[in-house]
Amino acid sequence: MIAAEGNRLRHVANGQVKTDPSMPLPRRLSNLFEALGEVIRTERPDTAAAEEVLGNTNPQSTLKLGQARGVVLLAASTAGLTVGEYHPSVVKKAVVGTGGAEKRQIQAMVGHLLPGVKLAGPDAADALAVAITHAHHLASAHARARRVAGVGA
């Protein structure tokens, strides 16, 4: 989670929701939904963002990731949040400058854009990168709207 004030970004929080792999998938998805709901109630974000799922070599992993993503979208939507959705290459380009960036490059740029951030795990940088992308897209949309409305210079 980040805060965006104009072009300034500030790290608010990051973490991981871990579930027990030995539990049945429906229970794990339910735990994910409950944990995200608690984060949303506690942190009270204005909006949310999610990365689109790409297929990979393991169809079962892709399916499970898609189900978890669905839970994320449901938790945000249930809380009344609008959700921006971004292709991984859009996230990489927004944060690193190239759509083919590697994970370590994303982690480095997230650290640069959010000084002092301590990542909760390997996926935390990806999640923060999605949040950064969303903040940039929202700022651009607001700037375009002001220009169209004739507000500002």
pTM summary value: 0.88
Same domain, 51 and 109: no
User: Residue 58 and residue 55: Cα distance in Å, rounded?
Assistant: 8
- Are 83 and 117 a contacting pair, CB within 8 Å? no
Q: From the annotation, which residues make up the binding site for Mg(2+)?
A: 51, 123
Q: Is 57 domain-assigned?
A: yes
If you count them, how many residues does the chain have? 153
Same domain, 129 and 106: yes
Q: Which domain holds residue 24?
A: 17-86
Same domain, 57 and 110: no
Q: From the annotation, which residues make up the binding site?
A: 51, 123
What amino acid positions are annotated as catalytic residues? 51, 123
The CATH number assigned to the domain holding 25 equals: 3.30.420.10
Beta bridge partners of 50: 85
Q: Is 32 domain-assigned?
A: yes
Print pLDDT tens along the chain (153 aa).
999 987 899 999 999 999 999 999 999 999 999 999 999 999 999 999 999 988 778 899 899 999 999 999 999 999 999 999 999 999 999 999 998 899 999 999 999 999 999 999 878 999 999 999 999 999 877 666 666 665 555
Residue 147 has what pLDDT?
60
